[in-house]
Amino acid sequence: MSKTTKIILVAAIVISGAVLITWQATGGDYYTKYQVVEKVEAEIDPNDPLAQAGFYDEGSVTQTVTRDEFRLGLLPTPSGLIDKHAISVVSILLPIWVIIIIAFWLSRMRRRRTQPS
């Protein structure tokens, strides 16, 4: 294995680690998201006619809220060919590791040609 190939391999491992740490730091979701939809507890308005009629069991109800938040996902969720949701762990790491495999293959082919038979 040549020195250049070793450097490329180490760089790919470091980049892979950084991408996986970023994936976990942003939530570790399966799909890339730019908006997060979640349910939060909301206080019941005492003037709400449904609350006065006893439709709510507890002192609070859940409400669906949308927040703008980036979460890197394992897989892309594009709706078109060029979409912001195409960024994902797979779409970042796949080209890097394809380059590594090709570099190793070319290195082996070059060594086989230079070795005497």
Q: What is the pLDDT of residue 17?
A: 96
Annotate 8-64 with DSSP letters as a single string: HHHHHHHHHHHHHHHHHHTT-EEE-EEEEEEEEEEEPPTT-HHHHTT--SSSEEEEE
Q: What is the pLDDT of residue 24?
A: 95
Q: What is the pLDDT of residue 1?
A: 66
Residues 3 and 19 both lie in one domain: yes
Residues 79 and 28 both lie in one domain: yes
Residues 25 and 78 both lie in one domain: yes
- Summarize the confidence of residues 63-89 as an average pLDDT: 85
Residues 115 and 79 both lie in one domain: yes
Convert the pLDDT of each residue in 46-63 to its tens digit. Answer: 677 776 666 666 656 777
Residues 79 and 67 both lie in one domain: no
Residues 117 and 80 both lie in one domain: yes
Residue 19, domain extent: 1-32+74-117
Instruction: State the total domains in the chain.
Output: 2
